[in-house]
Structure 1
Amino acid sequence: MTHASLPPDLHQWVTRHVTGMDTAAVTDVSWPRGDSRVWRLRADHGEVFVKLYPSIEKYEREVQGCEHATRALAADEAPRLLASDPDRPAVVLSALSGHVVRGLPLKQAEERHVHRLAGDLLRRWHATSESISGREHQRIMASVTAQAGEASVILERLGDQLSPAEQDLVHDAAHDLPDLARTLPLAYRHGDYSPRNWLWDQAAGHHSLIDFEESAPGLAVEDLVWLCGAAWPTRPDLRDAFLTGYGRLLSSTEQRALVLLTTRLGVSYLSTGLTKTDTVLIDRGRTVLQHMVRAPR
């Protein structure tokens, strides 16, 4: 995080919507990736965040995600949309209390509690339905088919670098995902449901959710892929806590699809890592695949 100033045209726009903006208290809080542009600033009524998007699609998803959150969650569980402009595209969002969960030094009991609250929040997020048009339904099925196709291409190219059990899993992802998808529950997904987008206010015991630029209708189980690949393999207690909050266990079909979707993500990490000679992605991909071989199906 670094002290910064807003681009001049963005600054001018923000001042029309945020009263009492303190130009000396602007902090760049962008994620460490090229397309993330986020600033925190202080104003008369507390802190707000300004986000500038790399595409109109991500802007529209953020706006729609905020609108969904107002219907699905309590007022203090998600940011409020204070201003938006599709021409920039940019938004001003209210700030929430707490800190990003990823990296917080939580004791195991507290971490389980946070995951149970996260499961409960996602239950309510998924339970609040949005209309899914025929066109959106086709897009969802096309996305799953594309993921299966990616797994097939990678298997053909990198099969000899996978163990026999990993090869079988990637083959199943390529072959079975499209048919499985037709039987799975659909929902309005958050799209990046992981601890980096959860906030935890320890003093208040309060959990909330941010970052809706990947939100869209899709397979409900897709919101569990990160957890399945990164958190649950080594912490089954977190899985139990999350699903307790979520209010139900996964069906056998959902569990199989979750393992195969996570396998596809892992082999994609591996393929990209090998192509770019990125050891972080290579290690991440191999770890996810090893976890999925041992995962219940």
Structure 2
Amino acid sequence: MDGSVSATDVSWDRGDSQVWRVTTDTREAYVKRSPTAASHSREVHGYTHATQTLASGEAPTLLASDPGLRALLTSPLRGRVVRDFPLETQEERRVHHLADQLLRRWHDSTNQPPAQVRAIVRQSMLEQAREARTYLDDLAAHVAPAEHRLLQRVTNELPGLADELPVVFRHGDYSPRNWLWSSDRSQLSLIDFEEAAHGAAIEDLVWLYGAIWPTRPDLAHAFLTGYGRALSRAEQRALHLITARTTAYYLNAGIIKANPVLTERGRTALKHLLG
């Protein structure tokens, strides 16, 4: 970059986030330092996938990367983060509809994964079931009997669903904090690929299913009609069970850390799952 350079810290409010907006007199870019070598490698592959599958302006361009520094230099995008962007109801529904169309293109472009990827999905479902089993004891005194039975079903049923779940190259953190919305162009863009990897397609819906859709069924409808296909019975069941495991994680972490935000998030989501 030419001219005087300034950098502004635009990291997320978490300990391992390191992102800066770098500007000169005429240009702007973003520098990100990945928390681990593995996340840096995943993000580089994620940018390659985005270039192959998304339209111009729907994802940043990777300008340079340095695995030794775990650093990436990327182009800017127009738009604001949807999570922090107050939208009118109709526009919000429009955004969620476009978000699912974008995700379907991201998923559909995945080449047939090798056999070992299916083994990875089996192992992931098994590990999540084992994690749920630990919560059966850890949360026994903190959850209602029906919630405890739900965690038992995660333990018993989730591994058996693994072979019925479509395997894709996942975004890995598909939520409004990683969507950019440009109102004037009606364009939705996608950022942050450090969790991108092969896995079950349904895992890209867990955050939406657990955190947004319980109180906003209109957004669930807008999103799922954009995806263009109905979820199979196995996918619906796995989505419910994986979300239960995830919400139990939040509840358990909130209790251990005496964090009321995490605790309430977990309690609320578990109640919605039983509703």
Alignment of 1:47-196 (within 5 A): 47-196=28-177
- The share of aligned pairs that are identical, in percent, is 51
State the distance in 1 between where 2:150 and 2:53 align. Answer: 36
User: By how many angstroms is 1:68 displaced?
Assistant: 0.3
- TM-score, length basis structure 2: 0.97
Change (3 A) 1:104 1:288: same
Query: The residue matched to 2:164 in structure 1 has which SS?
Result: coil
State the distance in 2 between where 1:253 and 1:46 align. Answer: 48
Change (3 A) 1:134 1:21: farther
User: By how many angstroms is 1:231 displaced?
Assistant: 0.7
The corresponding residue for 1:42 is 23
Deviations 1:141-188 (A, max 9, x none): 212211110101111222232112211211111111111121110110
The corresponding residue for 1:27 is 8
Look up the equivalent residue of 2:37 and give its one-letter code.
Answer: I
The corresponding residue for 1:12 is none
State the distance in 1 between where 2:12 and 2:30 align. Answer: 13
Which runs of 5 or more structure 2 residues have no equivalent in the other structure? none
2:197 to 208, 213, 216: 216
Structure 1 stretches of at least 4 aligned residues deviating more than 2 Å after TM superposition: 43-46, 130-140
Change (3 A) 1:96 1:155: same
Look up the equivalent residue of 2:44 and give its one-letter code.
Answer: V
User: By how many angstroms is 1:37 displaced?
Assistant: 0.6
RMSD: 1.3
Which runs of 5 or more structure 1 residues have no equivalent in the other structure? 1-18
Deviations 1:75-101 (A, max 9, x none): 210011100111111110111100000
State the distance in 2 between where 1:46 and 1:128 align. Answer: 32
Q: How many residues align?
A: 275
CA contact (8 A) 1:21 1:42 kept: no
Query: The residue matched to 1:36 in structure 2 has which SS?
Result: coil
- TM-score, length basis structure 1: 0.90
2:236 to 231, 252, 255: 255
Mean CA deviation greater in 104-113 or 132-141: 132-141
Change (3 A) 1:219 1:272: same
